[in-house]
Amino acid sequence: MTDTGRMEDQLRAVMTLVDDVLGPEVVGAYLHGSAVLGGLRPASDVDVLVVARRSLADGERRALLDGLLGVSGFTGGLRPVELTVVEQSAVRPWRYPPAGDFLYGEWLREEFEAAGPPRPAAMPDLAIVLTMVLAGDHPLAGPPPAHVLDPVPYGDVARAAAAGVPELLAELAEDTRNVLLTLARIWSTLATGEIRAKDAAAAWALDRLPPEHRPVLEHARELYLGSRYADEAWSAELTARVGPHAEHVAGEIAKLSGR
């Protein structure tokens, strides 16, 4: 089976789960992220936003989590799934910071296995997610996203992007490739107002980096385009350059965001 076929099977499994758990409470479900910004890469997540009529009940949270633990992952042809559920009234009319009702991602698996299903919480990143959903316009269920969601003001997109930098820097050693590419995308977004695919954002940033900071991002981009996380490798020389590179890009982001 092709990678596209496997992803389509996985998406069907995710949507069957959502329908089983929430049924008529789903206003719409939307594919976003790499799948609609330029194509899935070897380590790309399958990103889905679900807009619901109400907040999930405790039993629904448990059922959704249990199902996702089985259909998301890194083995057996699976991709990691990032599933976000928002209550429509929490994001329409739009206000900042937005609140999310449920967020699942593989980086949170161990936490959920130990502590139970995710709870509602403030999610500034929803400003970026909803903007990508509206731009991608890829319904999996329900009407087009513009019929369900309000547009997000650019100022809130920029604020959410810049707010995520400290958390990203804290994860630099554990998630090097993804952090570097996300920093490049934040820089690109603040400078241009456009949310690019990670490889496109890296290409934009490489044209603006001093020569000493380019090799790190060039390697991260090559990994993104051709390698799964299990195959990621960094030489000692590049590893030594990661911190200074990240500090430089964070500085450029701070200049643009006024932080």
**Do 126 and 81 form a contact (C-beta atoms < 8 A)?**
no
C-alpha pair distances (Å), 38 with each of 82, 192, 231, 247: 17, 18, 22, 28
Question: What single-letter DSSP state applies at residue 114?
Answer: H
Q: Tell how strand 46-52 and strand 81-87 pair up.
A: parallel
**Do 61 and 47 form a contact (C-beta atoms < 8 A)?**
no
Block residue for tokens 């329900």 = 142
Residues designated as active site: 82
d(CA 128, CA 84): 12
Q: Any idea how long the chain is?
A: 259
C-alpha pair distances (Å), 145 with each of 120, 135, 157, 236, 255: 22, 9, 17, 45, 33
